[in-house]
Amino acid sequence: MLIYKILVFIHIFSAILGMGPGFILTRIGKSADTMTKVRHSFAIRRDLHIIVMIGGTLLLVTGLLMGMLNPNLFRMGWYIASLILFLIGLAMGPFVLSPRSKPIKELLASYEGEEIPEQYTRLSKELFRYENLENLIFLIIIALMILKPF
């Protein structure tokens, strides 16, 4: 039982440290009004993303370990739904977000000047729309974890 309590502690701590910064990544990108600020915001986003990845990995590992220690969790709808949504959110990184951020990174590396080009505005709106969808998925997961509705 002590191991389970430790896992719960790590799980909650990881959610705060890992998911918390994830919710502000989009906001950081939206606030820039010059290309220098855009480049800086993407550097900050990259650094915060490392924390998000570590926290997300710990969330998945501790969640599965808790399920192994308490197999009844695998019969709970909220647990299964949370796990499926988490895996969808996790898969969005390489399959949805990364392909949309790559052209932005290329633009940031090649563009000279301070005025934000229309191409960046168009590309970033699409990226941020998917990031907001991912944030919604994670908010639903948090609600399921708290409420355990089914």
pLDDT per residue over 26-56, tens digit each? 899 787 899 999 999 999 999 999 999 999 9
Percentage above 70 pLDDT, the chain: 100
DSSP string, the chain: -HHHHHHHHHHHHHIIIIIHHHHHHHHHHHT--SHHHHHHHHHHHHHHHHHHHHHHHHHHHHHHHHHHHSGGGGG-HHHHHHHHHHHHHHHHIIIIIHHHHHHHHHHHHH--SSSPPHHHHHHHHHHHHHHHHHHHHHHHHHHHHHH---
32 φ/ψ sector (left φ>0, alpha ψ -120 to 50, else beta): beta
Q: Is the pLDDT of residue 143 over 90?
A: yes
Side-chain-facing half-sphere of 42: CA atoms under 13 Å? 19
Return all residues near 78 (Cβ < 8 A) that are at least 6 apart.
144, 145, 147, 148, 149, 150
CA atoms within 13 A on the CB side of 39: 14
Question: What confidence score (pLDDT) does residue 26 get?
Answer: 87
Q: Which residue has the tokens 């949309």?
A: 100
The proportion of the chain whose per-residue pLDDT surpasses 90, expressed as a percent, equals 89
pLDDT at 17 over 90: no
Task: Give pTM, 2 decimals.
Answer: 0.89
Over residues 57-67, the pLDDT tens digits come to 999 999 999 99
CA pseudo-torsion sign 123, 87, 11, 54: negative
Q: What are the phi and psi torsion angles at 125 (to 5°)? A: -60, -40
